[in-house]
Amino acid sequence: MGDKGDKIALDEAKKMAAYAAVDQWITEDTKVVGIGSGSTIVYAVERLAQRVWKEGQLGDMICVPTSFQSRLLILDHNLNLGDLDRNPFIDVCIDGADEVDSQMVLIKGGGGCLMQEKIVASCAKTFIIVADYTKKSLRLGEQWCKGIPIEVSPMAHVPVKLKIEALFGGEAELRMAFRKAGPIVTDNGNFLLDWKFVAKREYDWDEVNRVITLLPGVLETGLFVNMAIKSYFGMADGTVKVQNKSLPADCQ
């Protein structure tokens, strides 16, 4: 429990999850690590840097970023910066998530970095999620109400919005910037739609992801299906809960 026996601060929960995942998955044999984006990953990089600079471990480890933010984090902590040109094979990628359902389907991209995050995760042997307890759900939409982010080419945002709404219902909204006039522009120069799907409808997320990805003008979706194998959640009671991806019956 937290000091007062009540819920621990969300930041403490993020930190516990991130430290546990780094300590469990990053070893002297880990040569290349994918570094996700967001507020939880800050603690993962902090822990990696402690191990490199205070504990004298992991000296040769290379970090591949998933956004401008994570590139800066790697540089600020004096870790070795890599890229997919030189490091296309990643041992472990650690990232945050906006929501994780019971089948380990993820919503990502709340921070707008979904495209590079998915590319880097797809190059990793092992993809691990770190999050606080507010991200853990039985079904998508239970906790995260801001919709599924979809990165689109600026010229296609209207037709893509209309097609998604016609195909799957709900509403896809162009994400507007704060302290900048007009829409958010991603690290890749694109726009974002936040698709507020119909929470009560049963969706096959694998199918939805495939169909939306094939719409002309869509660069990537924030639906990560069959990618993560473990999620570390910092819980309100001060513990870390580990969720494993359940394997299909024919793989068990």
Ligand X SMILES: O=C(CO)[C@H](O)[C@H](O)COP(=O)(O)O
* Residues with catalytic roles: 117
Least gap, CB of 69 to ligand X (angstroms): 8
- Closest residue to ligand X, judged by C-beta, is 38
Task: State the Cα torsion 46-89-129-215 to the nearest 10°.
Answer: 130
* Pairing, β 62-65 against β 171-174: unpaired
Least gap, CB of 77 to ligand X (angstroms): 17
Q: Which phi and psi (to 5°) does residue 41 adopt? A: -70, -20
CA distance 21 to 42: 13
Residues forming the site for ligand X (CB under 6 A) = 36-40, 95-98, 108-114, 117
The smaller minimum CB distance to ligand X, of residues 11 and 165, is found at 11
- Across the chain, the runs of DSSP E, i.e. the strands, are 32-35, 62-65, 80-81, 90-95, 99-100, 106-107, 124-132, 148-152, 171-174, 191-196, 218-221, 223-224, 230-234, 240-244
The smaller minimum CB distance to ligand X, of residues 31 and 225, is found at 225
The smaller minimum CB distance to ligand X, of residues 91 and 220, is found at 220
The smaller minimum CB distance to ligand X, of residues 217 and 222, is found at 222
Tokens of 233: 């959640």
Least gap, CB of 111 to ligand X (angstroms): 3
The smaller minimum CB distance to ligand X, of residues 8 and 114, is found at 114
228 Cα distance to chain centroid: 10
Length of the chain, please? Answer: 252
Q: Which residues pair with 33 in a beta bridge?
A: 63, 92
Least gap, CB of 56 to ligand X (angstroms): 28
Query: Which residue type, as a one-letter code, is found at position 80?
Result: N
CA distance 209 to 48: 33
Least gap, CB of 233 to ligand X (angstroms): 11
Strand, coil or helix: what is 187? Answer: coil
- Residues in Cβ contact with 243 at an 8 Å cutoff, skipping those fewer than 6 apart: 100, 104, 136, 230, 231, 233
